């Protein structure tokens, strides 16, 4: 990661720690594992990234899924601006992750095109009512069988947040990250589940 990006991230993390939820940008290894956890997707699909921050995971999603549209939803205006400038092939929306159906409509895509949602949001440090709205929003844009992939620094603490309507899959620990992280893939269940 270029020094300028790292300095910008650290500045935002210091002033907006609860929203950023990290002491350092994600490592390239973690970004790669998140992109791989999406699985195989069809050309023309949409991958939504929640909380792209400095864009390390965004780059990995573009690299592993070059024929998909990456929609990055970022609530921090500074991160959103920098990401738009740095990665012009990515659709960046400044806004809350709890409004995914609206963001999707605004850029002209439909629910059926969404192959996966990847989240770097610090859900353990966000207000519980916001976390519920974010999970509802993710459920609203994912069809059954599609993936929601979250990373966390504490798989044990995340168990209390396990999203309703999703089946947890095998998680993967990424030691080469500061701090070490866990990639948690979930599969969207059908409405009857």
pLDDT along the chain (193 residues), means of 10: 48 43 75 96 96 95 96 96 95 97 95 97 94 97 97 90 91 92 96 55
Domain annotation covers residue 125: yes
**Residue among 84, 87, 82, 91 at smallest CA distance from 46:** 91
pTM assigned to the model: 0.86
The CATH number given to whatever domain includes residue 112 is 3.40.50.150
Domain that holds residue 36: 3-188
Residue 111 makes CB contacts below 8 A (sequence gap 6+) with 101, 104, 140, 141, 142, 143
Give the number of domains in the chain: 1
Residues in the chain, how many? Answer: 193
């Amino acid at each position: 990661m270029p020094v300028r990006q790292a300095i910008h991230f650290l500045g935002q993390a210091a002033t907006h720690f609860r929203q950023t939820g990290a002491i350092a940008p994600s490592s390239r290894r973690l970004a790669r594992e998140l992109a791989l956890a999406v699985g195989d997707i069809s050309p023309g699909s949409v991958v939504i990234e929640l909380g792209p921050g400095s864009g390390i995971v965004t780059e990995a999603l573009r690299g592993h899924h070059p024929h998909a549209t990456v929609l990055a939803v970022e609530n921090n205006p500074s991160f959103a601006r920098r990401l738009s400038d740095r990665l012009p092939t990515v659709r960046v929306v400044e806004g809350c992750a709890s409004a995914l159906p609206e963001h999707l409509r605004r850029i002209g895509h439909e629910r059926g095109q969404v192959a996966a949602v990847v989240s770097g949001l610090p859900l353990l440090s966000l207000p519980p009512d916001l976390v519920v709205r974010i999970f509802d929003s993710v459920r609203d844009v994912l069809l059954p069988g599609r993936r929601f992939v979250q990373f966390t620094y504490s798989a044990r603490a995340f168990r209390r947040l396990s999203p309703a309507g999703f089946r947890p899959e095998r998680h993967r620990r990424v030691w080469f990250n500061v701090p070490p992280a866990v990639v948690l893939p979930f599969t969207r269940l059908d409405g009857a589940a």
